[in-house]
Amino acid sequence: MRTLFKKRVVENNPKVLLRKDDPVRNDFTFKVQERVGKFYRVIPVNAKEVFYLRSLQKGYDYFTPAEGDGLILSAHSIPS
């Protein structure tokens, strides 16, 4: 069986962007937060990986990195 995200890179305690909504001004901002634990930086390379990412929950299973390309995935969200 072919695994997803063959070219993943381990990142410990990555810095990610989190969206903060401001309902008073009807606007939003982003803040940088360090997530604690083991994560993977991935760049999807085929439709199967993109469809898998779409099934995940943003802010729990995957995050936008504060710097660089790709996505930050929680270790629990990558199938073995």
Ranges of each domain in the chain: 9-77
Residue 80 has pLDDT above 80, yes or no: no
Number of other CB atoms surrounding residue 2 within 10 Å: 6
Query: What are the start-end ranges of the E strands in the chain?
Result: 9-12, 15-22, 27-34, 38-42, 62-65, 71-74
State mean pLDDT over 30-58: 94
Residue 1 has pLDDT above 50, yes or no: no
Enter the pTM of the model: 0.85
Contact of 53 with 60, CB cutoff 8 Å: no
pLDDT at 7: 87
Measured in Å, how far apart are the chain's first and last C-alpha atoms? 10
